[in-house]
Amino acid sequence: MNCAGEVAMPNPMTVEGAQALRDELEHLKRVVRPEISKAIGEAREHGDLKENAEYHAAKDQQGMSEARVREIESKLADAQVIDVKKIAHTGKVVFGSTITLINCDDDTERKFRIVGEDEADIKNGRISVMSPLSRALVGKSEGDIVNVETPGGDAEYEIDKVEHI
């Protein structure tokens, strides 16, 4: 349960996504926190804190950094880390799998990996599990034809290959 008394939903993420969050958290705690603390200390030495821009900037940075630490800790606490390499390959699309799609209109090929929301990066072929494309693909198998509603209109794809890499 979270502070509002709501049951926290599991946050699916890949092994790599969870590690990236742990690395960021470690960096914030071990590097950024001490740097900000030092900057606040130096700014205090300049005297009157009411009109001390360096002090206020450092305090603002500290607030943003600590908010990010809490956000990452919360995401990791609710994380459901899924290692797709440990899931038996059946040809079905599952979270973490890499899918090669063929556009039925022009025979172009696109490759995507279904990842957690924090890991999504369309330029690098990583799409959120919550995206319309992911929702259309999950549970389907190699060879299936999938209709996907896109902002540019409906698109039809054939699932050419499902990989657990």
Q: How many domains does the chain have?
A: 2
For residue 144, being part of any structural domain is answered with yes
Per-residue pLDDT tens listing for the chain (165 residues)? 455 555 556 889 999 999 999 999 999 999 999 999 999 998 888 777 777 888 889 999 999 999 999 999 999 999 999 999 999 999 999 999 999 999 999 999 999 999 999 999 999 999 999 999 999 999 999 999 999 887 788 999 999 999 999
Range of the domain at 151: 84-163
For residue 74, give the CATH number of its domain: 1.10.287.180
Statement to judge: residues 94 and 65 lie in one domain = no
pTM: 0.81
Rounded Cα gap, residues 147 and 159, in angstroms: 11
- Of the CA atoms within 13 Å of residue 105, those in its CB half-sphere come to 6
